[in-house]
Amino acid sequence: MYPEYMVAPIREDLTSVGFEQLATAEEVEQALKGEGTVLLAVNSVCGCAASKARPALKMAVAASDKKPAKMVTVFAGMEQDAVAKAREFMLPYPPSSPSIALFKDGELVHMIERYHIEGNELQRIVDNLQGAFEAYC
């Protein structure tokens, strides 16, 4: 686990634009099992989260007419039970942070793993997210 003072500004990078921070397995289950669309971001302290994942999330949400009904986040390396529960919902994909998942009516419909993020251009990630929003939201 990281010191909270270190991750607080990283959490705020997403919560300041409307993402809800989920801290428990129960919160994750409640958020992901419901009806409608839910965008889940597995946040991280790594460089590709800072330079690609979080900026792509913010850009895609800001520029899209169609958006998920709810946006939530868990933080890898912090709330272990919440992250573990989120990863259960993302099976069969292996654990990956950062990662981004889109759920519709409780089912995983779109997944962006770390390898889609770290070696990719920012705009391609934004386009990927916007395409998923257009298809499912």
Judge whether 48 counts as a catalytic residue. yes
DSSP 59-77: HHHHH-SS--SEEEEEETT
Average pLDDT over residues 116-125: 94
46 in active site: yes
φ, ψ for residue 13, nearest 5 deg:
-55, -35
Average pLDDT over residues 132-136: 97
**Spatial contact of 42 and 96, defined as CB atoms under 8 Å apart:** yes
Among the options 45, 46, 50, 59, which is catalytic?
46
- Provide the mean pLDDT of the chain: 96
CATH of the domain at 32: 3.40.30.10
Decide if pLDDT at 122 tops 90: yes
Structural domain of residue 17, as residue ranges? 4-136
Q: How many domains does the chain have?
A: 1
pTM, to two decimals = 0.95
